[in-house]
Amino acid sequence: MLSLRSITGISFLAVQCLGWIQAVDLKGDDLETIRSRIIEPLLAVQDENSINDLIHSMQSDGTWPDIDYRDKSRSAWMVMTHLRRVETLARAFYAPHSAFHGNRDILSAALKGLDAWLRMDPKNPNWWWNQIGVPKALLPILLLLDNELSETERAGGLEILRRAKIGMTGQNLIWVTEITAGRGLFERNAVLAAKAYRRIADEIRMDLGEGIQPDFSFHQHGPCLYSHGYGAAFVVDCSRIATQVDGTAMAFPPAKIELLAQLILDGTQWMARGAATDFGAEGREISRKGQSASHLAAAAASMLQLKTGREEEFHALAERVAGRPDARPSIGNRHFWRADMMTHHRQAYYASARMHSTRLANTDSPANEEGLLSHHLADGCFVLMQTGREYQDIFGVWDWEKIPGTTVRLQGVLSGSPRRMGTTSFVGGVSNGSIGLAACDFERDGLTAKKAWFFFDKEIVCLGTDITSARSGDVVTTLNQCCLNGDVILAESGRPKILDRGNHTYSGTGWLWHDSVAYLFLEPADLRLQNMSKSGSWHASNHRYAQQNETRDLFTAWIAHGTHPQAENYSYLVVPDIDHEDVAEYLVNVPIRLLANNERLQAVGQNQLRLVAVAFYSPGTIAIRPGVTIATDTACLMLVQETGDLLQLTVANPENKAAEVRITLSEGQVDREAIIQLPEGFAAGRSVTQTIPLHKESISRACP
């Protein structure tokens, strides 16, 4: 048993300075416990035929003829196939139930492959492979073959592992630091391992920089939403590492486990439906095939091995990602004020609005030749999913200038880096946890508009106003662009008809239906529609893929605003989970009231909820019902809901700044006032709720 005092070169006091490893002895068997937990998942039995193929195809110098060792691709680097094959051989030799367990021929091949890599020491022009990718792939090989390595192999392997130096932030830090911890295990260096695991635990923190945000979104590469990109790796790796060190002197503190659970359950899972992620939270990884929410299932499985007090929620999350039909989704509305994003969950559907501001980038830069066409990804993107298959692997064929929900001046060709910071600050949302309003004062290259989304129970209202372009060019607002699923029905003059496949044009105030979703136009719209096959190539957005076309059936609908719009509007209602035969009945008693849609304010009432939602772009007044008005002296977003004899006010500042909002409720000749203090710091942009009585004089003050 190795006690703390027996560790060479470090005193008890020095290890105490590691922070969270204080009065607990750091024991030698802790290292072996962690090593065994890392190795255990690698011991699954593998396909014998594939292993035999690797043995027979290996050349005398330890390489394989089908790998192009001169490849310098920055993203899908073919040379890494070599290390994956060496790991396969090492696992086959080490796994106790493998047909090749202890087989010296397998061991010889694994060592020959390792020697070939150490001899060639391939490098990639993308730093990530050299400092993270290669050391990360090499580590399990060294741990598996530990007792069989020569001093030369051991020294060569350690040289590569040392390229992962502790530093950076967010998920990049987790990668390099986990490699460093693994190096400590490989060298039996308890001090190095403890230092690395401590640093990983420290990175599980709330921050206004990169990493976990106060609203439980995740940023990487500066102020850039990445909950399903780098954030996916973060929750998977941190939860897995937490299980590996659990019960040892290097275990993560309970507060870190709690924060990790909050990131997953109160953040990331709210940007997914079942096995499908919201593509707006993927960054440049939107251009990778096969994106899914599988990372949430992996993280949930790890978190269920830890004490969180939220086991039922993690079980439910794992079931939803697995696609079990009886797994109920979380119901509610979330505004991510650090991500300029609102998500809305109901039993039948998921919806979101994605924006960007002076505080947030729209997406990531096109590093490694991927994410090349994401220019409009946050220009008011509106995602709607029922099955989760609506946008599945669609991005090789879709029109990147018609991202759902966005208002765009069409250029035909998208070039240059898609990443940009927003130019306006009035961008945000207000939410009471069930109902929400997202709004933005939008500007891009001379195109301006005010856009808002009102998320209710059974419907979402989409408004746009003051759409003006300083430059010539067709301006459009896209209703949706998704996989075509069955008939498309259009109602002209109240008479619905099934459309043939092809291009269609329509002007009026009727309705459109596709895939159990109705789009009801609240004012005349110049509609364009396609229900047809479209061809394209993933290569256009991600150069890791070959220039090979594929064809998919798409549904695309958009409103044409003209070539030089001046103060144009749109207003339409989206009703998910409705059969086309039920649309006419819904129209008989639509519970929606369009109260305002102009440059000063946008407001909608929902009669069944007794609720009015208002985007005040400047101080103003709105009548919430006859004889009752609400006025504010400050630009803000507001939900006003009547509950009995109380009026519930939920307010947020889309500028993400502290503010004092003075609200006046007027009923006939009686005025009452509420002063709501909106928060600063980590909570700046968060919604605050206060109630005031109806029919009674009162002044209320709300504190966040």
Look up residue 175 and give its two tokens: 């990668």
Query: Which contacts (CB < 8 Å, 24+ apart) does range 78-84 have?
Result: 79/122, 79/124, 80/129, 80/133, 80/134, 80/137, 82/113, 82/116, 82/117, 83/117, 83/134, 83/137, 83/138, 83/141, 84/137
Say if strands 646-652 and 592-597 run parallel, antiparallel, or are unpaired: unpaired
Closest CA to 362 of 404, 421, 402: 421
Strand, coil or helix: what is 187? Answer: coil
Q: For residue 25, what pLDDT is reported? A: 54
Helix (H) or strand (E) holding 197: helix 190-203
Strand, coil or helix: what is 627? Answer: coil
Other beta carbons within 10 angstroms of residue 123's beta carbon come to 12
Give the Å distances, CA to CA, from 334 to 270, 351, 431. Answer: 7, 11, 7
Cα–Cα distance measured from residue 81 to residue 69, given in angstroms and rounded to the nearest whole number:
10
The domains found in the chain, sorted by start residue, are: 350-358+365-590 (2.70.98.10), 618-704 (2.60.220)
Task: Give yes or no for a contact between 174 and 168, defined as CB atoms under 8 angstroms apart.
Answer: no
DSSP string, 485-537: -S-EEEEETTEEEEPPSEEEEEEES-EEEETTEEEEESS-EEEEEEEEEEEE-
User: Among 5-19, 51-65, 479-493, 545-559, whose mean pLDDT is lowest?
Assistant: 5-19
Cα–Cα distance measured from residue 317 to residue 347, given in angstroms and rounded to the nearest whole number:
14
Q: For residue 669, what pLDDT is reported? A: 80
Mean pLDDT of 469-481: 96
Average pLDDT in the chain: 92
Cα–Cα distance measured from residue 208 to residue 211, given in angstroms and rounded to the nearest whole number:
8
Task: Give yes or no for a contact between 167 and 128, defined as CB atoms under 8 angstroms apart.
Answer: no
Task: Give yes or no for a contact between 529 and 490, defined as CB atoms under 8 angstroms apart.
Answer: yes
Mean pLDDT of 646-670: 94
Burial of 695: CB neighbours in 10 Å, binned 0-12, 13-18, 19+: exposed
Look up residue 469 and give its two tokens: 């372009």
This model's pTM is above 0.75: yes
Residue 504, amino acid: H
User: Among 214-218, 340-344, 366-370, whose mean pLDDT is lowest?
Assistant: 366-370
Cα–Cα distance measured from residue 496 to residue 279, given in angstroms and rounded to the nearest whole number:
32
Give the Å distances, CA to CA, from 344 to 28, 201, 328, 383, 543. Answer: 49, 31, 14, 10, 34
DSSP state, residue 330: P
Q: Is the pLDDT of residue 608 over 80?
A: yes
pLDDT bin (cut points 50, 70, 90) of residue 627 is confident
Q: For residue 493, what pLDDT is reported? A: 76
List pLDDT tens digits, range 197-243: 999 999 999 999 999 999 999 999 999 999 999 999 999 999 999 99
End-to-end CA gap in the chain: 52
Look up residue 12 and give its two tokens: 């008890």
Cα–Cα distance measured from residue 366 to residue 269, given in angstroms and rounded to the nearest whole number:
26
Task: Give yes or no for a contact between 395 and 541, defined as CB atoms under 8 angstroms apart.
Answer: yes
Look up residue 160 and give its two tokens: 């590569």
Rg (CA), the chain: 28
List pLDDT tens digits, range 348-365: 999 999 999 999 999 999
Look up residue 333 and give its two tokens: 């509305």
- pLDDT: which is higher, 555 or 508: 555
Q: For residue 28, what pLDDT is reported? A: 62
Strand, coil or helix: what is 596? Answer: strand
List pLDDT tens digits, range 257-307: 999 999 999 999 999 999 999 999 999 999 999 999 999 999 999 999 999
Say if strands 646-652 and 670-678 run parallel, antiparallel, or are unpaired: unpaired
Task: Give yes or no for a contact between 373 and 287, defined as CB atoms under 8 angstroms apart.
Answer: yes
Closest CA to 513 of 557, 554, 474, 546: 557
Residue 450 bridge partners (DSSP):
441, 465
Q: Where are the alpha helices (DSSP H) in 334-378?
A: none
Length of the chain: 704
Residue 183 CA from chain centroid, whole number: 31
Sheet holding 670-678, edge to edge: 620-625, 628-632, 659-667, 670-678, 699-702
Q: For residue 173, what pLDDT is reported? A: 93
- Residue matched to tokens 């990493």: 211
Report the percentage of the chain scoring pLDDT > 70: 95
State the helix-helix crossing angle for 80-94 and 104-120, rounded to 10 degrees: 150
State the helix-helix crossing angle for 170-186 and 190-203, rounded to 10 degrees: 160
Q: For residue 11, what pLDDT is reported? A: 31
Residue 506 bridge partners (DSSP):
527
Residue 676, amino acid: I
Q: How many helices (H) and strands (E) does the chain have?
A: 15, 33
Look up residue 125 and give its two tokens: 């022009």
Residue 52, amino acid: N
Look up residue 227 and give its two tokens: 């909950």
Cα–Cα distance measured from residue 335 to residue 338, given in angstroms and rounded to the nearest whole number:
9
Mean pLDDT of 430-454: 97
Q: Is the pLDDT of residue 27 over 80?
A: no
Mean pLDDT of 385-399: 96
Mean pLDDT of 653-674: 92
Cα–Cα distance measured from residue 667 to residue 677, given in angstroms and rounded to the nearest whole number:
23
pLDDT bin (cut points 50, 70, 90) of residue 19 is very low
Task: Give yes or no for a contact between 535 and 527, defined as CB atoms under 8 angstroms apart.
Answer: no
Look up residue 139 and give its two tokens: 């580590």
DSSP state, residue 358: T
